[in-house]
Amino acid sequence: MHGSRRVAITGLGLISPLGNTREALWEGLLAGRSGVGPIETFPVDYLPTSFAGEARGFSGSIDDFGPLDREKKKAIRKGLKIMCRESQMGVAAAQWALADAAVGGGNVDPERIGVVFGSDYMLTLPDDFTAGIRRCLDASGKFDFSRWAAEGMPQVTPLWLLKYLPNMPASHVAIYNDLRGPNNSITLREASANAAVGEAFRTIVRGSADVMLAGATGTRVHPMKMVHSVTQEEVAGDGVDPTRASRPFDLNRSGMVLGEGAGAIVLEELEFARARGAKIYAEVIGTASSSVSNSHGIAHREAALVNVMAASLRDAHCKPKEVGHLHAHGLSTRSCDADEARAIRAVFGDQTAKLPVVAAKSYFGNLGAGSGLVELIASVLALKNKRLFKVLNYDTPDPQCPLAVSHSEADPGLSCLSINVTPQGQASAVMVRAVA
């Protein structure tokens, strides 16, 4: 039971392949516009795929961080040199969400507002070591490791490690905005976003804060992470139109599309939000997390998804028929989509045929940890606008995925259950409902 403390969503912020504002995201979804295209960030000659869902509108310049006062702009600009791209996107999404919620200027006690931020594991870029490696090449051009400590390491910036610590987004956001309340960081790959929302939600419900910022940032558009992805999962490769490559639950899907992005929402105790005149997008009513694998470490995604959907419904005191639409993980791989479809059927039974299913990854691919929050924001906008966007590239239903996949603008209902899962069998879910 949640007691008397209800939790509202009062601010939205994002960085995505469809744009960096909620208006751009919503317009792209309704227009059926894909954010996937040829990779522009780095050379792809020796990489397994040449396209991705890049956040092309995010340059990392201070103008990408939303409306800022002079001192905050100065502080963030100074901090950019110790942020990798993932941290920069996360901080930018957070600043947009805080601005949207109109949090600041002393209208919230800094001791009563905190941060929970999710992320992927963060990997260095090869460029960070290029100068040091060159210093250690012998006359024949071979790398001499014995020279690294004395000659190579000094070429690496002393603050290098700070750029890639996964707790840095939460730290930066708290420092820049003087958020002195509970602070936490979660690293659960694609399950991070909903888990962060869940922790922020619980923090408010138990009375440890009145306002929390929940965010997540991630990327698969990274030379090393691309290599990791193709060795661990099914990735859509070249030979297909990039805009049609991500096709969740379609019979002819050929793998996930790699992407990057971040999302953040401001959560507030409902009466506190109303008292300060905040606009309210929706209410969080249930959350859950689960991890399932066998004794040999083999993941059971289906079981983990069943657990989080069933637990979220219990937490929200809702029956399956009360869910307006389901925002699926929708990875677009043959195995994960089939696992997810079976899990949905196990929880919703005969209701499955009537339950609209959407998957925003069809528009921009897998944003890593950032996916879940951008997807949740998309569903919150659907509830707010009373219109449900279609799943892009869904042409031929797969008999292994017998779902009511959204193929045209429809009624999103009054609530949404959003789910995500990792290849390691970690799953998370958030349930939200519209507020009159």
Percent of the chain's residues with pLDDT above 70: 99
DSSP state of 57: T
Residue 304 banded pLDDT, cuts 50, 70, 90? very high
pLDDT of residue 44: 87
Say if residue 1's pLDDT is above 80: no
Extract the tokens encoding 410: 């429809």
Residue with token string 């490690």: 161
Residue 296: per-residue pLDDT: 85
Helices assigned H by DSSP within 262-415 = 270-275, 301-316, 334-348, 361-364, 371-385
Query: What is the per-residue pLDDT across 319-358, written as a single tens digit (0 to 9) for each?
Result: 999 999 999 999 999 999 999 999 999 999 999 999 999 9
Q: Per-residue pLDDT tens for 347-404?
A: 999 999 999 999 999 999 999 999 999 999 999 999 999 999 999 999 999 999 999 9
Residue 170: how many CB atoms within 10 A of its CB? Answer: 27
* Rounded average pLDDT over 233-243: 91
Domains, the chain? 9-122+165-433 (3.40.47.10), 126-161 (no CATH)
Q: Please determine, for residue 31, whether its predicted confidence score (pLDDT) is greater than 80.
A: yes
CA–CA separation, 53 vs 117, rounded Å? 22
> What pLDDT, on the 0 to 100 scale, is given for residue 352?
97
Quick one: tokens of 36? Answer: 């996937």
CA distances from 331 to 179, 327, 335, 392, 414 (A): 34, 12, 9, 13, 25
For residue 411, pLDDT over 90 is answered with yes
Tokens 């659960």 belong to residue: 188
Measured in degrees and rounded to the nearest 5, phi and psi for residue 94 equal -65, -45
| Residue 330: CA count within 13 A, CB half-sphere | 31
d(CA 400, CA 433): 30
Please list, in sequence order, all residues whose beta carbon lies within 8 angstroms of the beta carbon of residue 338, skipping any fewer than 6 positions away: 398, 400, 401
Would you state the pLDDT for residue 3? 64
Nearest-angstrom CA–CA distance, 371 and 194: 10
Do the strands 426-433 and 415-421 form a parallel or antiparallel pair, or are they unpaired? antiparallel
Among 42-46, 67-71, 95-99, whose mean pLDDT is lowest?
42-46
Q: How far apart are CA 91 and CA 86, in angstroms?
A: 9
pLDDT at 125: 86
Task: Give me the percent of the chain exceeding a pLDDT of 90.
Answer: 87
The pTM score is 0.96
Average pLDDT for 65-89: 96
Q: Tell me the C-alpha distance between 25 and 98, whole Å.
A: 18
Distance CA 166, CA 120 (A): 7
Q: What is the mean pLDDT of residues 143-160?
A: 92
DSSP notation for 126-180: GGGGHHHHHHTB-TTS-B-GGGIIIIIGGGS-TTGGGGG-TTHHHHHHHHHHT--
Confidence class for position 157, pLDDT limits 50, 70, 90: confident
Q: Which residue has the tokens 């995010």?
A: 58
Using 50, 70 and 90 to split pLDDT, how confident is the model at 127? confident
Q: What is the pLDDT of residues 207-232, one digit of tens each?
A: 999 999 999 999 999 988 888 888 88
- The per-residue pLDDT for 2 is 57
Q: Strand pairing partners for 14?
A: 263
Tell me the average pLDDT across 264-276.
97
In this predicted structure, what is the pLDDT of residue 46?
Answer: 82
How far apart are the C-alpha atoms of 307 and 303, rounded to whole Å? 6
3-state secondary structure of 300: coil
